[in-house]
Amino acid sequence: MLMKKLLKNNPYVQSPTWPAVERLIADISIADTYYQRGDKRATQDLERVVHKHRAWIASCVDLTGFDYCYATAGATEALNAWRLSDSRPWQMLEGDYQWPNMLTGDGEVVNAIVDDKVLYISNPQCATGNFVSNDFLEDVDVPVILDCAYLGATPNKKITVPKNTEQIMFSFSKGWGLIGQRCGLVYTKEPHPVLDPLQKVECWNYSIPKIVEAIIDNFEPDTMYNHFRSTQLELCNKYNVTPSDTYFIATSTDDYYEIRRRNRKEARLCLTPLIKK
């Protein structure tokens, strides 16, 4: 009963840490990134990592046409930069990630997509940790900001990128337990109005590419999912909840978890406090 209360009362969702990742990150020296801005070593690092990442994530996301990429402090910084620079009306599906609307408070929460507004959407979905139907995404015809922060915590699956997608955001915080490291990449079709000027003067955290490169050189996108999946299934069976596509998330329509509902009757539950390393 104590564990059920923990599932019910924990409002946060974050991934567990794993010693194999902890040891890998511990071997990275920040001193190795004491570059002078303008000598292009930071740019060379980032370009190398972006080239590797495109190939590494290709089994999940086709990045063709997204010619620009920027290092960010997780998906959060990418969202901050988007909201700072985009004044167009926008929308988000019920239960989706609340942070963009907390920033500006001007997003419309919808159950069905409105034709004349930019769509922010997370995939896998923040509301449940599950993948959005590719059939649904193929029919999306509005400009899209696509948040793929939970990739890296899921099985490999090819997801549809809506045809009018403008930005695709990736994070290594959620899937790899790097909550404090804040590592991410955002791909765009056009130069980013906020991040591009900063990139031209090599103004980003130079440790981000080092950490991302260590992850993609040593693990596959579904490594964490495969490692923790059996534990997720055991916990879900024990507490009679439904495993999500994201390994540290479960869902339930049980009224007991009503406080955790994000989308109609479906509650999102974080399994991380129950997972032992």
Rounded percentage of the chain residues whose pLDDT exceeds 90: 87
Q: Can you tell me the distance from the alpha carbon of 133 to that of 137, in angstroms, rounded to the nearest whole number? A: 6
Read off the pLDDT of residues 35-84 as tens digits, 9 standing for 90 and up: 988 899 999 999 999 999 999 999 999 999 999 999 999 999 999 999 99
Confidence (pTM)? 0.95
Annotated domain spans of the chain: 2-20+222-274, 36-218
Preceding peptide of 155 cis, ω within 30°: no
Q: Can you tell me the distance from the alpha carbon of 238 to that of 240, in angstroms, rounded to the nearest whole number? A: 6
Average pLDDT over residues 242-250: 98
Per-residue confidence (pLDDT) for residue 215, from 0 to 100: 96
State the residue for tokens 């599906």: 93
Read off the pLDDT of residues 163-209 as tens digits, 9 standing for 90 and up: 999 999 999 988 898 888 899 999 999 999 999 999 999 999 999 99
212, 49 in Cβ contact below 8 A? yes
49, 211 in Cβ contact below 8 A? no
Single-letter code of the amino acid located at 270: C
Q: How many residues would you count in the chain?
A: 277
Per-residue confidence (pLDDT) for residue 19, from 0 to 100: 93
Per-residue confidence (pLDDT) for residue 33, from 0 to 100: 86
Q: Which pLDDT band holds residue 277 (cuts at 50, 70, 90)?
A: low
Specify the 3-state DSSP secondary structure of 83: helix
Q: Does the domain spanning 36-218 belong to CATH 3.40.640.10? A: yes
Region label for 112, one of left (φ > 0), alpha (ψ between -120 and 50) or beta (otherwise): beta
Per-residue confidence (pLDDT) for residue 137, from 0 to 100: 96
Work out the mean pLDDT of the chain and round it to a whole number. 95
Q: Can you tell me the distance from the alpha carbon of 95 to that of 223, in angstroms, rounded to the nearest whole number? A: 28
| Distance, C-alpha 55 to centroid of its chain | 18
Per-residue confidence (pLDDT) for residue 254, from 0 to 100: 96
C-alpha distances (whole Å) from 146 to each of 47, 82, 118, 130, 189 are: 22, 11, 11, 15, 12
Other CB atoms closer than 10 Å to residue 44's CB: what's the count?
A: 12
Cα-Cα-Cα-Cα dihedral of 95, 107, 149, 237, to 10°?
0
149, 74 in Cβ contact below 8 A? yes
Question: CB within 8 A of 40, min separation 6: which ones?
Answer: 202
Q: Which pLDDT band holds residue 276 (cuts at 50, 70, 90)?
A: confident
Per-residue confidence (pLDDT) for residue 37, from 0 to 100: 83
Q: Which pLDDT band holds residue 32 (cuts at 50, 70, 90)?
A: confident
Q: Which pLDDT band holds residue 85 (cuts at 50, 70, 90)?
A: very high
The first and second tokens of residue 16, run together, are: 């567990």
Q: Which pLDDT band holds residue 107 (cuts at 50, 70, 90)?
A: very high
